[in-house]
């Protein structure tokens, strides 16, 4: 059943949302530990969105207002942004999330790998600061 869900979600993202990158994220996210990850170009920045699973179903949407190359290494970028996070589980969580990370885009392959840190301030149902949200992302880059 989960395989069918992931396949249908991938097909939906591919044909309807025109994501530039779609993949998977491993790491802590407001109680969840795995996510479907998508990156959508928007003007000179991007929207980085996750649908996560674990203790419930969560969603993050981050506006990465800085996406810049690191000049010392080809195809290496850093990014940072802010957005919203929500978790539907045993406990409802809603709050703000920040993001800072580095991404490597392989030159002869449609794959990108990144490491990121996403601290969050939860304001509903309880107030909390989630500081340990480190993750590893592997994504397929479309139109490369």
Average pLDDT over residues 40-63: 89
The model's pLDDT over 19-35, given as tens digits with 9 standing for 90+, comes to 588 999 998 877 788 89
Average pLDDT over residues 114-141: 92
Greatest pairwise CA separation for the chain in angstroms? 46
pLDDT at 16: 54
Distance CA(83)–CA(98), nearest Å, equals: 6
- Which residues constitute the domain of residue 132? 2-141
CB-CB contact of 21 with 38 (8 Å): yes
pLDDT at 44: 79
Distance CA(78)–CA(82), nearest Å, equals: 14
pLDDT at 32: 82
The model's pLDDT over 54-113, given as tens digits with 9 standing for 90+, comes to 888 999 999 999 989 998 899 999 999 999 999 998 889 999 999 999 999 999 999 999
**Running DSSP on this structure, what letter comes out for residue 118?**
-
pLDDT at 91: 86
CATH of the domain at 123: 2.40.160
pLDDT at 18: 55
Helix, strand, coil: what percent of the chain each, to 5? 10, 65, 25
Neighbours of 131 (CB within 10 A): 12
Q: Give how many domains the chain has, as a whole number.
A: 1
pLDDT at 116 over 60: yes
pLDDT at 80: 97
């Amino acid at each position: 059943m989960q395989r069918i869900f992931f396949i249908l979600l991938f097909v939906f993202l591919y044909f309807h949302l025109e994501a530039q990158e779609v993949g998977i994220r491993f790491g802590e996210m407001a109680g969840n530990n795995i996510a479907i990850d998508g990156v959508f170009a928007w003007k000179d920045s991007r929207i980085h969105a996750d649908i996560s699973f674990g203790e419930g179903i969560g969603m993050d949407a981050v506006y990465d207002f800085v996406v810049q190359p690191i000049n010392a290494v080809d195809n290496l970028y850093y990014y940072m942004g802010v957005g919203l996070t929500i978790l539907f589980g045993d406990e409802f969580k809603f709050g703000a999330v920040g993001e800072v990370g580095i991404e490597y885009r392989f030159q002869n392959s449609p794959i990108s790998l990144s490491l990121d840190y996403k601290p969050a301030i939860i304001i509903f149902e309880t107030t909390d600061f989630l500081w340990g949200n480190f993750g590893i992302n592997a994504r397929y880059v479309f139109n490369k």
